[in-house]
Structure 1
Amino acid sequence: MPHPSGGPSGTDTFPALCGHTHLFPGARCRVQGLPDPDAFAAAPRPLDVDLRFSDGVLVAARLLTEPGEGSPLVLAVPAHTTAAGTRIDARAWRIRGLVVREGADVELVVGALPRS
């Protein structure tokens, strides 16, 4: 079932500001521009996000829900390079705990990598 458009320029992609140059357990990203942040925080759905790291690097990523009720959210991030030239491998990060609404943004707190 497709979800409604509402991102910048009518797309399904939303900006997500990250406070560091890379992700790690405990890192935070704020998803911006959601049409209804409260509804998203209560019932997250798959979502395309443009991660903007603190060094200005922009990476297209995907927030996914795993099958099953109450299953964790996963942020799938492709391989990329930091502004300083450090190569970061593709990873899928679990979103730890709740998706918390902060102001008009939804804050994601990154947890550990899923076990393989």
Structure 2
Amino acid sequence: MRFSFPHSHAFPGGEVRVEDAEAAEGMCVVEFGDGIAMIGEWHPDGDDVHLSIPAYRTASGTDVEARRWRLAHDKNGTWRSRRSA
């Protein structure tokens, strides 16, 4: 499974491309628009996906804390990130 964010970080309501949606849950590749990539973890939750992204540093040097995101389709069918508790 591969999750690609067009920006250097995930944020609420941000678009994310999901590839290989038929893959087994667990480890995945998380890529950002600035070229940074890492291993994350994902789990299905009904039609949604829970994605855990470890702490990382953007290409411009900004530290981003580890976070868990809920990914869901918007009304147009595009995957969007939502903060997860």
TM-score range, shorter chain: 0.7 to 0.9
Q: Residue 15 of structure 2 corresponds to which residue in structure 1?
A: 28
Q: Which has the higher strand share?
A: 2
Over alpha carbons, which structure has the higher Rg?
Answer: 1
CA contact (8 A) 2:43 2:51 kept: yes
TM-score by length of 1: 0.58
Could you state the TM-score of these two structures normalised by the residue count of structure 2?
Answer: 0.76
Give the paired residue count: 83
SS of the residue corresponding to residue 28 of structure 1 reads coil
Task: Summarize deviations over 1:22-77 as a string: whole Å, max 9, x none.
Answer: 00011122123x2xx5xx4xxx86243211111100121111135xxx47421100
Structure 1 pair 73/81, CA: closer, same or farther in 2 (3 Å)? same
Q: What secondary structure is seen at the aligned counterpart in 2 of 1:22?
A: coil
- Structure 1: segments with no counterpart, 5+ residues: 1-13, 101-106
Q: Over aligned residue pairs, what C-alpha RMSD do you find?
A: 2.5
Match of residue 76 from structure 1: 52
Q: 2:30 aligns with which of 39, 51, 67?
A: 51
Aligned-pair identity (%): 27
Q: Tell me if the contact between 2:47 and 2:72 (Cα under 8 Å) persists in the aligned partners.
A: no
**Unpaired segments ≥5 residues, structure 2:** none
